[in-house]
Amino acid sequence: MDRNDAIDFKALEKELQAALAADEKYKRENAAKLRAVEQRVPSYEQFRAIVLASHLRPLERKDKTGGKRSVPWNCHSGQGKASHDVTPEAPQEEAAVQPTTSAEFYRNWRRHLQNGPERYQALLQLGGPELGHLFQVDVGFGLLGEFLVALADQVRPADRAAVLGILHSLASTGRFPLNLSLLSAAERESCRRLFQKLQAMGTPRAVKEGLRQEEQGLEPSAGLQVEEELLQHLRGLYGVDG
């Protein structure tokens, strides 16, 4: 085999581990959803808590008693210890510029994107097609609502077409109706507010563009018409009244 054709086994192993982790997370959260439905939890908050805690495991007896603690409860309580005994904190892991799996995206979203502007820019940089590819199986519990909140709070007129593309791609992902039905009241309000903003952004732009084209004797812009048709279509998919 030519040296240039050698297989990068480390890269393949990393990709396999990421895929297995994403698959395990999906199965774990899906089982938690079904378990919560069977238990008939009385509120959405309890349902959400069950799913978010699906990765936790109950303590075993050896974890409660008899186990030797390697780290004290208060790391600053040890008096008289030399400073070199204190283990320095590991440097914060840098966020991947372009996640290649839903697991990588989820990790970066939780660890490194802490506020609305950062999350909004991350969504715009990835774009609708890439988001649709990453989450083609399932957006993942809780993420859809957080996406809608970030978009509603930060959307700008210049990004209107890009945001519509993101909404369209998310609506095409697996289990979208289920994830939509699990939105909290605040997330539903953000969704409604987002569509109101998108509608308001399109009206003055369409009027201004129409006047300009009328003065030049041109036909109405097909691009704006497509955007408006897409907006109305997405209203139906997201359950937002006109």
- φ/ψ bin of 143: left (φ > 0), alpha (ψ from -120 to 50), beta (otherwise): alpha
Specify whether the CB–CB gap between 201 and 209 falls below 8 A: no
Q: How far lies 190's CA from each of 138, 155, 180, 242, in Å?
A: 21, 12, 12, 15
> pLDDT, tens digit, for every residue of 11-28?
777 777 887 777 777 777
Whole-number pLDDT of residue 53: 67
CA 159 to chain centre: 19
> pLDDT, tens digit, for every residue of 193-223?
999 999 998 765 554 555 454 555 555 455 6
Cα separation, 238 vs 183, whole angstroms: 11
Q: 45: which 2 tokens?
A: 């908050």
Closest of 155, 87, 157, 65 to residue 119, by C-alpha: 155
pLDDT-derived band at 41 (thresholds 50, 70, 90) equals: low
Count of CB atoms within 10 A of residue 85's CB? 7
The structure's pTM equals 0.57
Sign of CA dihedral 5, 8, 13, 16: negative
Whole-number pLDDT of residue 90: 41
Specify whether the CB–CB gap between 179 and 153 falls below 8 A: no
Closest of 167, 187, 188, 185 to residue 176, by C-alpha: 167
Cα separation, 191 vs 183, whole angstroms: 9
